[in-house]
Amino acid sequence: MKLYLLSCKNIQTHAERILPLLPEQRRLAYDRSRSGLTLGAGLLLSSLLGVHTDADLSMGAYGKPFLTCGTPEFSLSHSGEHVLLGVSDRPIGVDMERRDRQVPEAVRCRICLPGERELDPLQVFTRKECAMKLTGQGFSLPLGDIDTTRDYRWQEKDHRFFTVEKEGYLISVLSAEKALPEIQLLTPEELL
């Protein structure tokens, strides 16, 4: 498993160099949004996973993107001015949120199981997002089926939750790996 955290703070200054590297759908999404996060996610996928055409990516039944060639597995998340990419030879789910984000009490009551109510609500939130991404089921996966205080069982295997703070973000990962690797910080310049 590898984890990459890309700063998109000034990424739009490189848009002319990045856009030709991206699949058409990603370029169109950037044209609509002008979002540096859209550009950053595309740059990570292009530079690290070789995604250059729309045919390089496929979508699962619930919209989870995957490499058409099948491997490696990946998961993306973005928040603030950063994009996180998790890559593994096994299913993986990643999520990140700015550390200062507040989880409203109504959301906390809706997502937390009884054993999770004393935990950091942002940790519970990001871990549940990881499970939704790992399985590819998104919000069709009942949140009550995800207990973030213990291993998550999926496809007959135990998957572990990991949560760390990095660069002002709370980052959670769900993987069958036994340990969390160092998160590699990247800049657009390093990928171009």
Tens-place pLDDT, residues 20-68:
999 999 999 999 999 999 999 999 999 999 999 999 999 999 999 999 9
CB 29 within 8 A of CB 57: no
The pLDDT of residue 145 is above 90: no
* Percent of the chain clearing pLDDT 90 (strictly above): 96
pTM: 0.96
The pLDDT of residue 84 is above 90: yes
Residues 159-181 have a mean pLDDT of: 97
- Burial label for 12, CB within 10 Å (0-12, 13-18, 19+), is middle
Based on C-alpha coordinates, what's the Rg of the chain? 17
Structure confidence at residue 144 as a pLDDT band (50, 70, 90): confident
**Closest by Cα among 90, 94, 105 to 169:** 94
Please provide the average confidence, as pLDDT, over all residues in the chain: 96
